[in-house]
A and B are shown apart, each in its own frame.
Chain A
Amino acid sequence: MWWLAALFIDAPIILPAPHKVAAELLRLIASVDFWLSVGTTFYRGITGFFISLIIGVSVGVAAGISLPLHALFKPIILVIRTTPVMSVVLIALLWFKTGTVPIFSTFLIAFPVITQNIIVGIRQTDPGLLEMGRAYGLSSRRRLLYISIPSVVPYLVSGAETALGLTWKVVVAAEVLSIPSFGVGSEMQLAQMSLETAQVFAWTVIAILLSSFSQWIFSICVQRMPWSRQYGDTV
């Protein structure tokens, strides 16, 4: 369909034919700079994601347990979540070096998602199970280990999955605006400025592959974790 549409429009600047994009892709893959760009973008995304994960979980647990902390973080999270991605990137540009902008933007967009999920997870912990734990004299460490943490895990997994999806969109968008020396977004922006439409498409394919690859790795990691084992089907 893409090929037919390209034929019909017949203007490679607007819609390049698939084989042109594929050829461009092959040409790119062969160069060292390509791998540097992909590697750098991957590094930025993963760094931003893990910082979000660590801070998101910490803040989420704190705000989930303590009501005053929840009252403190709730408006902050709400403001960050409703701020447009582009505003975050532009403000970050004023504060940081170009290479740091994508990492910081990712962090700011992804961490509230994780925090929010952790808070909900902690709130949803069955009070009856916690009461059972106290009645049987389980120490607070055991209650945390056996009751609270397993209750939060499904919320953490879904929060982290959403955050990871956002990560690549934000990293690439931030790179487009900040144009650091290497990066998928930088290359995309340069290609766009020189009207290399086929190349813009090729880099888009790369960004999609990068995102799918990370989601795939993520799902494998989740399956390997002992607590994600299926509890068995309901009778």
Chain B
Amino acid sequence: MAIQCNELSFSFEKLTVFSSFSMHFPDRHVTAVLGPSGCGKTTLLNLISGLLQPQDGEILGREGERISYLFQEPRLLPWMTVRRNIEIVLEPFYERPERRERALHFLELVGLQGFEEYFPQQLSGGMRQRSAIARAFAYPSHIMLMDEPFQALDLHRKLTLIEQFENLWSLDQRTALFVTHDIQEAMLLGDTIVVLYGPPAIAQKNLENPLPRAERSLKARPLLELEQELYASLVTDIGRKNEGANG
């Protein structure tokens, strides 16, 4: 199911984050939303997830849909093993043996077999975020929201995690909204890349990824060209902001 935002308006106190903002997120597509910090990316995710309510406008396509949410931090419960952490979000949908089986299956898919009974504090940051990815995919949802989930990791871990995400994605596509300020992440993961600036947020560019998922790599020529273009638009955005501040 595609998600459609129509004429959204939302402000915090005096700060207008969205004013008549519209955007379309195609079904079973990863839409990467690229933009600097503070442009309203996280607010957009919170509006779509329902954690925040828009003051005006509507969001179509999420009625009765379950949503998986990948946060910047793993947000695992420290008093439960990683297996239990996944099982609790499955409770309304599966019986106990199925829950267990499903949790173990997804932990294995992210390469955490043997660590199922560990508590989050016993794992490294990368392993914790992998557990969170396993939870997001194990949760039977049609929509996946991702808020810079690879941000806290070093480049090597980040690329490993993106690869693992791709593996899971190839088995199970959902309507995904991936928010980031990292051009390379956006190019590797996004089928569509939207450049956002603000506040108030405005979608400045809407580009199709020139390469299919399997062929994407940071060295591929079409992506290098895309990187230039995205870089230029982010830099102009900064220029525009500074001008605004000076004027």
Instruction: From known contacts A128-B71, A137-B92, infer whether A232 and B118 are also in contact, taking CB-CB under 8 Å.
Output: yes
Contact of A146 among B77, B121, B122, B139 (CB under 8 A): B77
Q: Which residues of B contact A74 (CB under 8 A)?
A: none
Q: Which residues of A contact B145 (CB under 8 A)?
A: 135
Q: Which residues of B contact A231 (CB under 8 A)?
A: 78-79, 119-121
Instruction: From known contacts A136-B139, A142-B91, A146-B88, infer whether A235 and B121 are also in contact, taking CB-CB under 8 Å.
Output: yes
**CB proximity of A56 to chain B, nearest CB, Å:** 22
Would you give the 0/1 interface string for A66-99, flagging 1 where the beta carbon is closer than 8 Å to chain B? 0000000000000000000000000000000000
A136 touches B89 (CB 8 A): yes
Would you give the 0/1 interface string for A144-179, flagging 1 where the beta carbon is closer than 8 Å to chain B? 001100100000000000000000000000000000
Please measure, in the bound complex, the distance between the C-alpha atom of A128 and the C-alpha atom of B73, giving whole angstroms: 9
B25-33, B62-70, B194-202, B238-246 - interface stretch: B62-70
Please measure, in the bound complex, the distance between the C-alpha atom of A232 and the C-alpha atom of B71, giving whole angstroms: 24
A129 CB-CB contact with B under 8 Å: yes
Q: Which residues of A contact B121 (CB under 8 A)?
A: 231-235
Q: Which residues of B contact A14 (CB under 8 A)?
A: none
Q: Which residues of B contact A232 (CB under 8 A)?
A: 118-119, 121-122
Q: Which residues of B contact A132 (CB under 8 A)?
A: 69, 71, 75
B119 touches A135 (CB 8 A): no
Q: Which residues of A contact B120 (CB under 8 A)?
A: 231
Report the contact-size class of chain A (Cβ under 8 Å from the partner): 20 to 34
Q: Which residues of A contact B66 (CB under 8 A)?
A: 137
Q: Which residues of B contact A139 (CB under 8 A)?
A: 92
Residue of A nearest to B69 (CB): A135
Contact of A129 among B77, B122, B139 (CB under 8 A): B77
Q: Which residues of A contact B209 (CB under 8 A)?
A: none
**B residues 52-108 in Cβ contact with A at 8 Å:** 66-69, 71, 73, 75, 77-80, 88-89, 91-92
B51 touches A235 (CB 8 A): no
Instruction: From known contacts A142-B88, A142-B91, infer whether A150 and B119 are also in contact, taking CB-CB under 8 Å.
Output: no
A134 touches B75 (CB 8 A): no
B49 CB-CB contact with A under 8 Å: yes
Q: Which residues of A contact B77 (CB under 8 A)?
A: 129, 146-147, 150
B69 touches A136 (CB 8 A): yes
**CB proximity of B120 to chain A, nearest CB, Å:** 8
Instruction: From known contacts A142-B91, A232-B121, A235-B121, infer whether A135 and B79 are also in contact, taking CB-CB under 8 Å.
Output: no
Residue of B nearest to A154 (CB): B79
Please measure, in the bound complex, the distance between the C-alpha atom of A142 and the C-alpha atom of B119, giving whole angstroms: 20
Q: Which residues of B contact A147 (CB under 8 A)?
A: 77
Q: Which residues of A contact B224 (CB under 8 A)?
A: none
Q: Which residues of A contact B170 (CB under 8 A)?
A: none
Q: Which A positions have Cβ atoms within 8 angstroms of B?
A: 128-129, 131-132, 134-139, 142, 146-147, 150, 227, 231-235
11 contacts between A and B (CB under 8 A): A128-B75, A132-B69, A134-B51, A136-B67, A136-B68, A136-B69, A136-B89, A146-B77, A227-B79, A231-B78, A235-B122
Q: Which B positions have Cβ atoms within 8 angstroms of A?
A: 49, 51, 66-69, 71, 73, 75, 77-80, 88-89, 91-92, 118-124, 139, 145
